[in-house]
């Protein structure tokens, strides 16, 4: 496959970036999208040009490190797929592919396609944890009975890998799907009840402080989420927030 790539290049955070066009030839349809970028980078290194910086780690769709907005869609054209699981057979020879970083004021570009997503870590630190006794009297998790529907719901929410595609897809750069998933995950479990009141208030406070927008229920986050996290999590977030505020 022969392709034209239009890639966002930016030297560092506060420098102005721009789209650069690259021609790439002989790409195998069975290559993953990131392998195609590896091939491009090898070519750039051989030509004496600085390679394109992009995030990646596990390359098997579970770590949430890979990002990229491909042809206008976070993680590319397929539903329920991370960038690393996207394959070149999804494209045709002669195609022009636009590759941009995840955009959001809370996700500043560090270099090229790499963005700083530590805002998510700070939200998680604000309340995304449970108090567990680790002093030698640790209770086995299975010793606490949990109704199957609640366990399933919590597991669905816990499937969020925190990649930030929800922010990238949302026209408001809202992080409410991420925060909703983290809040729902614990709200559905007895272990999460201890901090439930403060958790949601602190996480939302941190979310607002980071500069994310607010949800207008367009549903783009759910449509582009590689783990297909439902917007029902945002509903749970709203409900938990109202409950906590009323009980304050």
> Where do contacts with other proteins occur on this chain (CB under 8 A)?
6, 8, 19, 69, 71-73, 98, 100, 103-106, 109, 169, 171-174, 176, 204-205, 207-208, 211-220, 223-224, 230-232, 234-242, 245
Residue 133 has which token pair?
Answer: 């006794």
The helix/strand/coil state of 100 is: strand
Query: How many helices (H) and strands (E) would you count in the chain?
Result: 8, 7
**CB 88 → other proteins: shortest distance, Å?**
19
DSSP code for 63: S
Structure tokens at 98: 């636009």
What span, in angstroms and rounded, lies between the C-alpha atoms of 143 and 140?
5
Neighbouring CB atoms inside 10 A of 232's CB total 15
**Least distance between other proteins and beta carbon 120 (Å):** 15
How many CA atoms does the CB half-sphere of 137 hold within 13 Å?
Answer: 1
Minimum CB separation of residue 201 from other proteins in Å reads: 9
CB of 123 to other proteins, least distance (A): 13
State in angstroms the smallest separation of the CB of 237 from other proteins: 7
Closer of 49 and 242 to other proteins (Cβ): 242
Q: Which is nearer to other proteins, 57 or 208 (CB)?
A: 208
For residue 30, report the phi and psi dihedrals to the nearest 5 degrees. -85, -5
Give kind and range of the element (H or E) at residue 165. helix 165-169
> Which one, 17 or 63, has the nearer CB to other proteins?
17
Q: Which is nearer to other proteins, 55 or 100 (CB)?
A: 100
Nearer to other proteins, 161 or 165 (CB): 165
């Amino acid at each position: 496959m022969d392709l034209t790539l239009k890639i966002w290049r930016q030297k560092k955070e506060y420098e102005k970036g721009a789209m650069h066009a690259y021609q790439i030839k002989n790409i195998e349809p069975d290559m993953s999208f990131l392998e195609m970028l590896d091939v491009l980078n090898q070519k750039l290194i051989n030509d004496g040009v600085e390679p394109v910086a992009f995030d990646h780690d596990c390359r098997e769709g579970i770590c949430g490190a890979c990002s990229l907005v491909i042809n206008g869609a976070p993680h590319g054209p397929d539903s329920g797929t991370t960038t690393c699981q996207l394959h070149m057979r999804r494209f045709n020879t002669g195609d022009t592919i636009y590759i941009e970083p995840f955009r959001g004021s809370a996700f500043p570009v560090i270099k090229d396609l790499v963005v700083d997503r530590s805002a998510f870590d700070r939200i998680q630190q604000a309340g995304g944890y449970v108090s567990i006794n680790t002093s030698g009297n640790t209770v086995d998790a299975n010793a606490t009975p949990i109704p199957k529907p609640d366990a399933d719901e919590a597991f669905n929410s816990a499937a969020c890998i925190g990649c930030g595609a929800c922010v990238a897809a949302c026209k408001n750069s809202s992080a409410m799907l991420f925060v909703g998933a983290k809040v729902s995950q614990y709200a559905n479990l007895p272990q999460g009840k201890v901090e439930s009141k403060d958790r949601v208030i602190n996480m939302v406070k941190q979310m607002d402080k980071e500069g994310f927008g607010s949800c207008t229920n367009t549903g783009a986050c759910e449509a582009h989420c590689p783990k297909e996290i439902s917007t029902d999590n945002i509903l749970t977030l709203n409900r938990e927030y109202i409950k906590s505020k009323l009980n304050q």
